[in-house]
């Protein structure tokens, strides 16, 4: 009995960690604690309902049956010339324009739409990442059961499935997105499907630094379909991230204290976008050749004297070794995932502040503003709060879970020939997992930068 426990001690520790974290997350409600303290807003119809309505209708159609109506064509030219403007004063009821700020709590979050999907996705992600940390700590290669690799693999697959299903559900919500966003998401999905097949087939090896040696045609078809689906759904999520960055960094120069963020959150926005852009580029071959050593030439006399030839000779011959460069890519993806997790709260706060900006714009648009649009926008942003959380949280969760799968050694499946006969185990854990992690980072970054460029050119705007 003791020898059996000692043999499978890592597997037992993995199971105990999974059970203890599941119970801890259930009682502590860490998913709500992660968002607690953020500011949300409500815009009621009227603070004092007993007060009579003092606003007047600015425009009334003649077809509504107004007594004494006379068309302009029946008036003479002198009457039109001597007509005086009425000195009617429009009153504005300030009680209908007030907006109130509330702190997010457990009761408020649990009543939001798709909160259960967010909570289950967060819990699966947290338990899966903790299991991967324990697996990396022992770093054993004694089979899938003896080193406990079965537990993190199952948790990662469950976590990925849960996050992707939740992302699909919120993306299909009819009232949360406009028709143009859905159409652009469909275009992004088709483009991602084509681009993923181009990368998998190695049509342009001089552009993308990926090699799928052990993935067959059916595997490439599955990877292409997965990449296309993820690209379409992440494009709609990237629109919210771009608007959050645009408001959080005060690109519109509104200088409103109610929607401004602290300098720490603003620096998090900038650092996250810089790291995401850099991480997306280090898998592009022209950029990767300057950072890694492709081949080392021992003939020092072949270097040309002129500057152009020397620079061409240095490309691929200076930089990091291939093993170090792979580790560097891994750490860049890991840093990006952690930064995106930290920026979820800032993104969500800017999403809620977007409704306040709409209220402020409508309030100062005219003497008697129509606050119906801003009231509806505040309500919808509050109602679809967990939809935005899932879209901000999904890219980071997918990157970290795929990255964890890439650290599973393919040799742990050597005793499971039935599974490896169906799925290319080592290729999936190494090549495809890293590619999917990079794909999520690349698609989310590229889509967000496209949206930011449209905002900069004035084609898109926040209202």
Domain boundaries, the chain: 2-46+92-457
Report the alpha-carbon distance of residue 439 to residue 163 in Å, rounded. Answer: 16
Report the alpha-carbon distance of residue 425 to residue 427 in Å, rounded. Answer: 5
Token representation of residue 398: 């997918």
Could you give the C-alpha distances from 148 to 99, 130, 140, 142, 368, in angstroms and in order?
Answer: 54, 13, 9, 9, 67
Res 271: pLDDT: 95
Interstrand relation of 100-103 and 39-42 (parallel, antiparallel or unpaired): antiparallel
pTM of the entire structure? 0.83
Residues in the chain: 463
Res 335: pLDDT: 95
Burial zone of 336 (CB within 10 Å; 0-12 exposed, 13-18 middle, 19+ buried): buried
- Please report which helix (H) or strand (E) contains residue 403, including its range: helix 385-406
Note the Cα 188 to chain centre separation in Å. 15
- Sign for the CA dihedral angle at 363, 369, 371, 373 comes to negative
- Please report which helix (H) or strand (E) contains residue 42, including its range: strand 39-42
Instruction: Mark the ranges of the chain whose per-residue pLDDT is less than 50.
Output: 49, 51-73, 296-309, 311, 418, 422
- Tally of CA atoms within 13 A in the half-sphere of 99 that contains its CB: 24
Res 59: pLDDT: 31
Report the alpha-carbon distance of residue 209 to residue 205 in Å, rounded. Answer: 6
The model's pLDDT over 260-278, given as tens digits with 9 standing for 90+, comes to: 788 888 999 999 999 999 9
The model's pLDDT over 56-106, given as tens digits with 9 standing for 90+, comes to: 333 333 344 444 444 444 555 555 555 555 555 555 555 566 788 888 888
Res 311: pLDDT: 47
Residue at token pair 């406990």: 148
Res 60: pLDDT: 36
């Amino acid at each position: 009995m003791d020898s059996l426990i000692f043999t499978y001690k890592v597997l037992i520790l993995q199971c105990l960690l999974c059970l203890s974290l599941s119970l801890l997350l259930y009682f502590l409600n860490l998913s709500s604690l992660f968002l607690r303290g953020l500011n949300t807003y409500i815009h009621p119809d009227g603070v004092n309902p007993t007060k009579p309505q003092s606003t007047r209708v600015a425009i009334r159609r003649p077809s509504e049956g107004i007594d004494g109506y006379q068309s302009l064509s029946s008036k003479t030219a002198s009457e039109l010339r001597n007509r005086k403007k009425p000195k009617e004063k429009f009153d504005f009821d300030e009680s209908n324009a007030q907006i109130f700020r509330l702190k997010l709590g457990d009761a408020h979050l649990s009543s939001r739409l798709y909160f259960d999907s967010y909570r289950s996705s967060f819990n699966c992600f947290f338990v899966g990442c903790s299991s991967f940390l324990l697996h990396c700590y022992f770093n054993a290669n004694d089979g899938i059961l003896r080193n406990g690799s079965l537990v993190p693999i199952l948790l990662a697959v469950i976590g990925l499935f849960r996050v992707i299903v939740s992302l699909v559900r919120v993306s299909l919500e009819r009232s949360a997105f406009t028709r143009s966003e859905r159409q652009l998401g469909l275009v992004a999905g088709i483009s991602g499907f084509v681009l993923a097949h181009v990368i998998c087939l190695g049509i342009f090896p001089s552009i993308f630094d990926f090699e799928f040696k052990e993935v067959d045609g059916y595997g490439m078809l599955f990877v292409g379909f997965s990449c296309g689906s993820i690209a379409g759904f992440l494009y709609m999520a990237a629109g919210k991230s771009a608007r959050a960055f645009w408001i959080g960094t005060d690109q519109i120069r509104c200088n409103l204290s109610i929607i401004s963020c602290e300098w720490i959150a603003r620096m998090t926005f900038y650092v996250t976008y810089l790291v995401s852009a850099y991480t997306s580029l280090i898998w592009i071959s022209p950029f990767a050749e300057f950072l890694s050593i492709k081949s080392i030439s021992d003939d020092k006399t072949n270097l040309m004297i002129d500057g152009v030839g020397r620079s061409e000779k240095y490309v691929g011959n200076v930089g990091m070794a291939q093993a170090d460069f792979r580790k560097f890519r891994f750490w860049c993806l890991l840093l990006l995932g952690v930064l995106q997790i930290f920026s979820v709260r800032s993104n969500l706060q800017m999403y809620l502040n977007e409704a306040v900006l709409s209220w402020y714009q409508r309030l100062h648009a005219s003497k008697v503003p129509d606050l119906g649009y801003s009231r509806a926008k505040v309500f919808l942003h509050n109602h679809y709060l967990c939809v935005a959380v899932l879209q901000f949280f999904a890219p980071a969760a997918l990157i970290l879970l795929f990255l964890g799968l890439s650290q599973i050694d393919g040799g742990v499946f050597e005793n499971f020939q039935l599974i490896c006969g169906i799925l290319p185990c080592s290729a999936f854990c190494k090549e495809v997992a890293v590619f999917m992690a990079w794909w999520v980072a690349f698609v989310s970054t590229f889509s967000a930068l496209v949206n930011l460029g449209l905002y900069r050119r004035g084609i898109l705007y926040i209202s």
